[in-house]
């Protein structure tokens, strides 16, 4: 993510002479710190920390092999939480803190929001998506993040918003607020980048940026409700709820309740645009993932600033009907006067400000043109109950000029395919991590873990 820090440098301080410090709290082999050192200008120094002594030894080997000064990339052996808490005072804070643990980053968040400099950048990765996406362990997610996930097609964006909620509440304890710059769901993990600033007044807005989530167990319609609202000048009052009935108005099933989640902006479009411009100026030689970054950032630039999204195939599956093309469905939404975009988190996603009643009316109109076999649909099923209602309007499926986003027209790599079967995180490291390659083969030129970054 060196390109992101390159873009952040201009936001942090436009002056080219400004230097900043970086902490990689869980550095392992230190290769990311070395990439930072070799690819980003104006760095004062980097601390590459790890608890394991063998990892620290490996960091030093990599620093030496890449011909960097040990005063510039400083290997440090220590507990990540202890290192963060030791740097809470103003002179010792870091401009950039990078947290990339195996699993959850929850244990390190409290220290990180204190140890980051005023206006500094916090980079957080979480790979425990089985917890964050609501697959099987809502109690574990609540223990780590203070939020209950709900199953849904939008689960990976929900994971981003749960993590942002955790960061926001942790920072608020110290009168600090977060400003999300970029939040990405990538492969088997989520990665977010936020600025942290001290602002007691803005912290009061957190309840207005945080919502509970209601998801129908039948048709999977979803609704969000903020925890508070502002009335008058700086007067905050709780919201009146719930915003849904005991049963879904569309299919009469019950609701699951999730959250709280962050429902404010998750991207700073000006920052993303600066990143996109930087990536466009580079090439595959500069960044091997150039085409992927270009595609993802382009989709993010097109995303509506609206919480969560629908999946077109899942909506059609609920009604047991053939699915309209994404272009046709988006045209119907646009022709009705609403906004629509894709989400970077899932192919076939539909992010829109159209209410669920409009979504189902569009499908009712579609089914009038492409009938379903009602005898194959069970009685009292969500499909039966939704289709029993006549549409309140006739959807216009005429192709809208804005139905196809620019990123699709130019055939960018918008959604990456897994490079191999069973792609995902490997097993957690256990026991004392010896550098066996070095011990077993003293005659080898270098360990596979010792790499030179060009």
Do 310-403 and 2-207+258-302 have the same topology in CATH? no
Is 265 a residue whose pLDDT tops 60?
yes
Q: Which residues contact 352 (CB under 8 A, 6 or more apart)?
A: 304, 306, 309, 310, 333, 338, 339, 340, 341, 359
Among 96-105, 131-140, 223-232, the least confident range: 131-140
Report residue 290 as tokens. Answer: 């150039």
Among 22-26, 333-337, 360-364, 421-425, the least confident range: 421-425
pLDDT value of residue 444:
38
At 216-229, the pLDDT tens digits run 999 999 999 999 99
Would you state the torsion angle of the CA atoms of residues 62, 64, 68, 72, taken in this order, to the nearest 10 degrees? Answer: 80
pLDDT band at 443 (very low <50, low <70, confident <90, very high): very low
Q: How far apart are CA 218 and CA 212, in angstroms?
A: 19
Report residue 319 as tokens. Answer: 């009604």
Q: How far apart are CA 159 and CA 141, in angstroms?
A: 10
Report residue 211 as tokens. Answer: 């919502």
What is the mean predicted confidence (pLDDT) over 238-258? Answer: 95
pLDDT value of residue 253:
98
pLDDT band at 17 (very low <50, low <70, confident <90, very high): low
CA distances from 358 to 49, 167, 348, 349, 353 (A): 52, 34, 19, 17, 10
- Where are the domains positioned within the chain? 2-207+258-302, 310-403
Is 8 a residue whose pLDDT tops 90?
no
Is 435 a residue whose pLDDT tops 50?
no
pLDDT value of residue 382:
98
pLDDT value of residue 111:
99
Q: Does domain 310-403 have CATH number 3.30.56.70?
A: yes
Report residue 129 as tokens. Answer: 């998506």
pLDDT value of residue 429:
63
Is 411 a residue whose pLDDT tops 70?
no
Among 15-29, 52-66, 95-109, the least confident range: 15-29
Q: Which CATH class is domain 2-207+258-302?
A: alpha beta
pLDDT value of residue 9:
55
pLDDT value of residue 2:
55
What is the mean predicted confidence (pLDDT) over 15-37? Answer: 91
Nearest to 445, CA basis, from 65, 116, 138, 160: 65
Q: Quickly tell me which residue has 């709280």 as its tokens.
A: 260
Is 71 a residue whose pLDDT tops 70?
yes
Across all residues in the chain, what is the average pLDDT?
91
Is 361 a residue whose pLDDT tops 50?
yes
pLDDT band at 82 (very low <50, low <70, confident <90, very high): very high
Q: Which residues contact 158 (CB under 8 A, 6 or more apart)?
A: 132, 133, 134, 149, 150, 152, 213, 258, 261, 308
What is the mean predicted confidence (pLDDT) over 426-446? Answer: 49
Q: Quickly tell me which residue has 């299919």 as its tokens.
A: 251
pLDDT value of residue 431:
53
Q: Give the pairing type, strands 116-126 and 94-99.
A: parallel
Q: How far apart are CA 163 and CA 67, in angstroms?
A: 37
Report residue 157 as tokens. Answer: 């964006």
What is the mean predicted confidence (pLDDT) over 161-184? Answer: 99
Beta bridge partners of 204: none
Q: How far apart are CA 55 and CA 31, in angstroms?
A: 11
Report residue 383 as tokens. Answer: 């499909």
pLDDT value of residue 440:
40
pLDDT value of residue 183:
98
What is the mean predicted confidence (pLDDT) over 317-345? Answer: 97
Share of the chain above pLDDT 70, in %: 87
Q: How far apart are CA 266 and CA 173, in angstroms?
A: 21
pLDDT value of residue 235:
87
Within 106-154, residue ranges assigned H as helices are: 106-115, 129-132, 138-145
Q: How far apart are CA 392 and CA 401, in angstroms?
A: 25
DSSP string, 364-395: HHHHHHS---GGGSPTT-HHHHHHTSPPSS--
DSSP string, 141-191: HHHHHS-B---STTHHHHHHHHHHHHHHHHHHTTTEEEEEEEEEEETTEEE
Is 77 a residue whose pLDDT tops 60?
yes
What is the mean predicted confidence (pLDDT) over 147-171? Answer: 98
What is the mean predicted confidence (pLDDT) over 420-448? Answer: 52
Is 157 a residue whose pLDDT tops 80?
yes
What is the mean predicted confidence (pLDDT) over 430-450? Answer: 47
pLDDT band at 438 (very low <50, low <70, confident <90, very high): very low
Q: Which residues contact 269 (CB under 8 A, 6 or more apart)?
A: 301
pLDDT band at 46 (very low <50, low <70, confident <90, very high): very high
pLDDT band at 290 (very low <50, low <70, confident <90, very high): confident
The pTM of the full predicted model, rounded to 2 decimals, is 0.91
Is 11 a residue whose pLDDT tops 70?
no
Q: What is the DSSP letter of 258?
A: E
Is 448 a residue whose pLDDT tops 80?
no
Is 252 a residue whose pLDDT tops 90?
yes
pLDDT value of residue 416:
64
Is 420 a residue whose pLDDT tops 90?
no
């Amino acid at each position: 993510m060196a390109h992101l820090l390159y873009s952040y440098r201009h936001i942090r301080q436009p002056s080219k002479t400004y230097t900043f410090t970086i902490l990689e709290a869980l550095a392992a082999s230190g290769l990311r710190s070395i990439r930072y050192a070799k690819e980003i200008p104006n760095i004062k120094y980097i601390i590459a920390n790890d608890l394991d002594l063998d990892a620290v030894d490996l960091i030093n080997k990599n620093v030496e092999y890449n011909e960097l000064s040990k005063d510039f990339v400083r290997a440090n052996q220590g507990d990540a939480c202890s290192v963060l808490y030791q740097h809470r005072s103003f002179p010792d804070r870091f401009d950039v803190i990078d947290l990339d643990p195996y699993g959850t980053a929850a244990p390190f968040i409290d220290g990180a929001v204190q140890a980051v400099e005023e206006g500094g950048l916090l980079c957080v990765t979480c790979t425990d998506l089985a917890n964050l996406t609501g697959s099987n362990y809502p109690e574990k997610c609540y223990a780590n993040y203070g939020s209950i996930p709900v199953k849904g097609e939008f689960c990976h964006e929900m994971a981003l918003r749960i993590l942002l909620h955790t960061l926001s509440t942790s920072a608020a304890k110290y009168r600090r607020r977060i400003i999300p710059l970029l939040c990405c769901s990538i492969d088997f993990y989520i990665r977010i980048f936020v600025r942290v600033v001290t602002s007691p007044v803005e912290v009061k807005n957190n309840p207005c940026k945080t919502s509970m989530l209601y998801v129908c167990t039948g048709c999977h319609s979803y609704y969000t409700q903020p925890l508070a609202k502002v009335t008058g000048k700086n007067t905050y009052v709780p919201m009146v709820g719930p915003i849904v009935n005991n049963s879904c108005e569309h299919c009469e099933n019950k609701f699951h309740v999730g959250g709280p989640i962050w429902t404010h902006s998750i991207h700073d479009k000006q920052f993303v645009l600066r990143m996109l411009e930087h990536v466009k100026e580079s090439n595959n030689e500069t960044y091997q993932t150039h085409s992927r970054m270009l595609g993802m950032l382009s989709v993010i630039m097109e995303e509506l600033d609206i919480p969560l999204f629908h999946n077109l195939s899942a909506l059609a599956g609920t009604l047991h009907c053939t699915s309209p093309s994404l272009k046709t469905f988006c045209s119907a939404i646009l022709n009705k006067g609403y906004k629509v975009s894709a989400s970077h988190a899932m192919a076939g996603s539909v992010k829109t400000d159209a209410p669920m009643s409009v979504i189902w009316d569009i499908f009712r109109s579609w089914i009038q043109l492409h009938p379903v076999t009602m005898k194959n649909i069970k009685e009292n099923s969500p499909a039966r109950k939704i289709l029993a209602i006549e549409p309140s309007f006739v959807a216009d499926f005429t192709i809208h000029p804005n139905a196809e986003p620019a990123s699709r027209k130019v055939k960018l790599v918008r959604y990456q395919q897994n490079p191999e079967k069973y792609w995902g995180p490997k097993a957690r490291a256990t026991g004392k991590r010896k550098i066996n390659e070095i011990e077993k083969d003293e005659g080898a030129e270098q360990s596979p873990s010792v790499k030179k970054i060009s």
